[in-house]
Amino acid sequence: MASKERILCIDIGGSRVKAMVLDKEGKQLEEYRKLDTPQPSTPENVLKTIKALTQHFKIYHKISVGFPGYVKKGVVITAPNLGTAQWTGTNLAASLKTLLGKPCRVVNDADLQGLGIAGGKGLEMIITLGTGFGTALLEDGKLLPHLELAHHPVTKLYTYDMYIGEKALIKYGAKRWNKRMVKVIAILKTVFNYDRLYISGGNAKKLTCKLDDNIALANNQDGIKGGARLWR
């Protein structure tokens, strides 16, 4: 039997690096694995963590990566939660190709999640609630240009990252964070007029506020499957 193409998908997060192997239709072929994001999160340390994580995966032909910052043609431009100064200019796609010996594509982490989660009809928005605030927009399943909405001011003092990111959740507690989320979702509804909004990321499970009918919760494991679509 001809061997099927297998894609190694990696999601680099502010607190965990996750990986799984998929077939090209996005079906999971091996166990989902994670390791803590190394501290300091330098490119060298993150590459070492990826190497350790991928020891478990014997066969794959291509690599897809979701990175928590702005990425242009495989090169990192910003990495707000890992340290922009130490990441800017890193050609992550080329480094991983050298490290693991397979072709590699790197996109923003929320964009990768968007590809995994969106249903493919109309204007869909994916937001991820984790260390930072990730956003992706897709029209009829096609990714629209990435916006770093996380760094747009939402109040006089705070950007979205500061207002509803992990640090704010820890500092102010789930009740106050949920109130902030209600405000943020109302803004997104008015600004983007999405047909559907999906909420993913580790903190999505902390939402207790009532959500409109066109809003659904998703999880990181669905999102990482976007890695297969990156090669279609």
Give 33's Cβ-side CA count (13 Å radius): 19
The least CB distance from residue 171 to ligand BGC, in Å, is 17
Q: Which two tokens stand for residue 103?
A: 């072709």
> Nearest-CB residue to ligand BGC?
132
Quick one: 26 or 201, whose CB is closer to ligand BGC? 201
By CB under 6 A, the residues from 121 to 180 that bind ligand BGC are 128, 130, 132-134, 148, 150-151, 161
Min separation Cβ 5 and ligand BGC, Å: 27
Binding mask 48-77 for ligand BGC (x = CB under 6 A): --------------------xxx-------
Tell me the Ramachandran region of residue 53: left when phi exceeds 0, alpha when psi lies from -120 to 50, beta otherwise. alpha
- Candidates 10, 82, 107, 110; binder of ligand BGC (CB under 6 A) is 110
In angstroms, the CA 79 to CA 14 distance is: 10
> What is the side-by-side strand order in the sheet with 62-67?
33-36, 16-23, 6-12, 62-67, 104-108
Place of tokens 């207002």: 163
Chain positions contacting ligand BGC, by CB under 6 A: 68-70, 80-81, 108-110, 128, 130, 132-134, 148, 150-151, 161
